[in-house]
Amino acid sequence: MRYAEYLRKSRADDPSEPIEVTLARHREALRQCMAKHALVVAPEDVFEEVASGDSLYARPQMLKLLEAVEQGVYDGVLCMDIQRLGRGSMSDQGAILDAFKLSGTKIITPNKVYDLSDENDETYTEFETFLGRQEYKMIKRRLRRGIKATVESGGYIANAPYGYEKTRIGKTPSLKPNPEEAPFVRMIFDLYLSGMGCQRIADRINSLGAKPRRDVQFSRTTIRNILQNPVYTGHIVWDRKTHIRPSRQSGGKHITIYNPQESWTIVDGLHQGIVPQETFEQVQGIFAKRHRSPSFTGVIENPLAGLIVCGNCGHNMQRQADKRGGPMLLCQKRGCIVSSKLHLVEEALISRLREEMNELVQNAGSESPGEDNTAQTLKAIERQIATAKAQDSRLYDLVEQGVYDTDTFLQRHAALSQRIADLEKARTDIRPREQLNVPKMAERIQEVLDSYFDMDSQQRNELLKSVLEKVIYKKEPGAKPAEFHLTLFLLPIYL
């Protein structure tokens, strides 16, 4: 029998307690629960959620666990309480409970074991999750009210921007200038007023040894964000961004949309400004007259977004608007690789995709079987798994007969559980060559090609991502506009 363990810090835990301390305390409680029920959890069956989120899609460890539960991998899952699994939306709760019920997987907590095939347990679980959801919504409302009150009073609750560090004025969180970084902020504004562009400013302060908080070096985007942030004049800005949390609607991704300035909430802050208000307004006047790439509005304008990877540094390449000849596709790392016009890369990609489809059609069924011991290997692994499970099952009889004491049982059960887990992983990693569904892959690519040019940029991006994992872009210095090389990685379809 195989069990999993799920650990996550929730809002019900002490917020001042570090997450490592909370999870360590929970591990000890679940260890006692395992001893009580004579259970063993292998290390690879422990799921620790470092991130926390409202939605199921914001918790990657929970998604992995849920997938395994749906496949019937586990006989039970240990957690601190039923609400720890999730108290987000009703649809998320329903998905979680349905997975446990349909697979027959038990939920084991220090206080109770839930078997959702039992009507009483199912009703109790649904009622408990409903109460947890209501409590969660109430906590969120209180948090939002507290955040709004702090912002309106001039407090600052987010991470300190470059040039500042966090402090408190009385009990209110605020900012104070960082003596090493604030001079660079003033320099950025002065250089921009002197006529220097964002990229040149980034190059200048990088050469002077300035280091941003979350990157290796400053980029033009970082400089632009500093120049447009009213916090440097002593103001507090809220509602600059709209966050679309991970969900089915967002494709499981966290999307950030930058709101127009007229929708921001701006109040006088308690902190000291680094640049004068007059200087800031002069900079905004220059920005209004200059062309610059627009911020993300929630609509994808680049049909190749998230697909093209720089062949030099491995980072995703991005679209940049250019009035002279249409948008360009370039690496955000300055001087990394030669850029190309976006429409040339798109046309070449579609042409290469058509070539890939023709190769798939020609090669389908032409591969000689050769020597393939996959089937024999799988049978051997299946026999070993069956033997190990039979040995594990006999352990329970030996405990009941008094042949083994509890310590011996737990030790041998742990060893067999580990062996079974290793064998099952080996079985999963083996995929016979003939399982690749080449005709289906070619058919899907043909469907993309047939409808591609009738779609807008966002729909084109979705179509390409349905058949491609990534595309590596290479271009040598001095090459002609269309002289670049694309390496396509197709998404496989298995039988």
Segment 181-219, tens digit of pLDDT: 999 999 999 999 999 988 889 989 999 999 998 888 898
Q: Which residue has the tokens 């920005």?
A: 287
**Residue 186: Cβ within 10 Å count:** 16
Show which of 150, 184, 206 is a domain's final residue. Answer: 150
pTM above 0.75, yes or no: no
Query: What is the chain's mean pLDDT, rounded?
Result: 82
The CATH number of the domain where 269 resides is what?
3.90.1750.20
**Number of domains comprising the chain:** 4
Classify residue 303: in a domain, yes or no: no
Please state, in angstroms and rounded to a whole number, the distance separating the CA atoms of residues 221 and 238.
20
pLDDT > 70: percent of the chain = 83
pLDDT category of residue 394 using cuts at 50, 70 and 90: confident
Both 92 and 124 in a single domain? Answer: yes
CB 476 within 8 Å of CB 338: yes
| DSSP one-letter string for 247-271 | STTTTT--EEEEPPGGG-EEEE-SS
Show which of 430, 452, 478 is a domain's final residue. Answer: 430
Both 247 and 337 in a single domain? Answer: no
Q: Tokens in use for 410?
A: 């737990």
Both 352 and 442 in a single domain? Answer: yes
Show which of 119, 150, 181 is a domain's final residue. Answer: 150
Q: What SS3 class is residue 378?
A: helix
**pLDDT tens digits along 316-326:** 898 887 767 78
pLDDT number for residue 370: 43
Both 270 and 330 in a single domain? Answer: no
Classify residue 156: in a domain, yes or no: no
Q: Domain range spanning residue 323? A: 318-363+437-490
Classify residue 11: in a domain, yes or no: yes
Antiparallel, parallel or unpaired: β 106-108 and 76-78 = parallel
**pLDDT tens digits along 449-485:** 998 988 889 889 999 999 999 999 999 988 999 999 9
Q: What SS3 class is residue 57?
A: helix
**pLDDT tens digits along 420-437:** 877 877 776 665 545 678
Q: Which helix (H) or strand (E) holds 202?
A: helix 198-207
- AA letter at 27: R
CB 348 within 8 Å of CB 482: yes
Selection from 147, 145, 182, 477 nearest residue 338 by Cα: 477
CB 163 within 8 Å of CB 232: yes
